[in-house]
Amino acid sequence: MLHSWLDHWDEQRARRGEEGKKATDFVLDAERAFPGAKKAASIEEFCVLADSVLADPAFFDEPSGSGQGFEREEGWLRFPSGISTDIEANNVVWAKITESGSLDRAMVVFHHWNASARNRQIANFLSLLGVTVVEIAMPYHFERSRPGSAHADYMLSPNLGRTIQSVRQGVCDGRKLIAWLKSQGYREISVLGMSLGSWVAGLVAAHDPAVTKASLFLTGGSLADMVWTGRATRSIRDSLEPEIELTDLRRAWGPLNLENYAHSLARSDLDLHVVLAKRDKVVLPELSEKLMQRLKDAGARLNILELNCGHYSLAIPPYILFAGLSLKRFLS
């Protein structure tokens, strides 16, 4: 009975999340995804470019000459993104800081796709544990939203190039913020990502040696498979399916697949914490399990909590309490 109620609750939340989402055009947009690249005339040309950046360890580095420009005022931090887009508001990064009163530890939090508010409860909870929390706005969210948009349709979309650019921008913004935190004297830096935010946080942890702990909630490996099979991304699949095969989408979005960075995530000075939902219809359990196996095979230091709830019902008691206690033990 409980599980049927949970499944129904998750489905109702998913339906509400569909409001305002519309199918949009499939676009390659390679020159947006890959700096210096020329326009790709075919899916195969796009995939060749994706293969090349997958082998480039500097792809997720902060662009050179992006400058600092940090401004802090009354618990808020603002700085220019190192990646410039055609949406002016998106080019300024905002972050909410909840102080702990200590310079020992700081955590950068990456929210879920289409988040409507930052998570004050998590920030307050972690600050009481002595962790300063910095909740960053991912591209096209919160203060960075595209004018007139009902949801963050530019962060994740059937525009293959824009999606890569958006995730890369989120990673570079996160790394720039982490460098600033280190310059402020914080000694231990961790990241927390939720759903789509877990892909960004995972990529940050894989590429930034300053990160010593990474907690990934509701995560998977292949972003292509998540979009193709997930309950929250049906409108995107509707646009993709007539134009591209899943096998090609996996290759096109290969630079965003956490499985491809398993060995980086398994480095000896990084601890990983993962919270998964067994009844997840957004990030299917088989996608999470595949990533977990890849990490185990690479020798990652991995702490996994699996809860018998859905993607959205993780946010309600008792599941969120179990997740919070697990996170507390991990950070301790």
Name the percent of the chain in helix, strand, coil, to the closest 5.
45, 15, 40
The average confidence (pLDDT) of the chain is 94
pLDDT of residue 316: 93
C-alpha 114/C-alpha 269 separation (Å) is 32
Question: What homologous superfamily does CATH list for 2-331?
Answer: Alpha/Beta hydrolase fold, catalytic domain (3.40.50.1820)
What does the pLDDT look like over 136-190, one tens digit per residue?
A: 999 999 999 999 898 999 999 999 999 999 999 999 999 999 999 999 999 999 9
pLDDT of residue 63: 75
Determine if the peptide bond prior to 139 is cis (ω within 30°).
no
pLDDT at 8 over 90: no
Supply angle C-alpha 155, 26, 36, rounded to 5: 70
| DSSP one-letter code for 17 | H
Parse the chain into domains and list their residue ranges: 2-331
For residue 256, what are its two tokens?
């965003």
pLDDT at 64 over 70: no
For residue 91, what are its two tokens?
């080019």
pLDDT at 7 over 80: no
Per the listing, tokens 């946010």 go with 315
pLDDT of residue 58: 93
Burial classification of residue 30, based on how many CB atoms lie within 10 Å of its CB (0-12 exposed, 13-18 middle, 19 or more buried): buried
> What is the Cα 62 distance to its own chain's centre?
17
pLDDT at 1 over 70: no
- What's the pTM? 0.96
| DSSP one-letter code for 318 | T
Strand, helix or coil at 138?
coil
Share above pLDDT 70 across residues of the chain, in percent, rounded to a whole number: 96
Instruction: Please report, in angstroms and rounded to a whole number, the separation of the first and last CA atoms in the chain.
Output: 36
Contact at 8 Å (CB) between 275 and 215? yes
| DSSP one-letter code for 71 | E
Q: In sequence order, what are the residues at sequence separation of 6 or more whose Cβ sits closer than 8 angstroms to the Cβ of residue 318? A: none
Q: How confident is the model at residue 20 (pLDDT cuts 50, 70, 90)?
A: low
C-alpha 291/C-alpha 262 separation (Å) is 8
Contact at 8 Å (CB) between 136 and 194? no
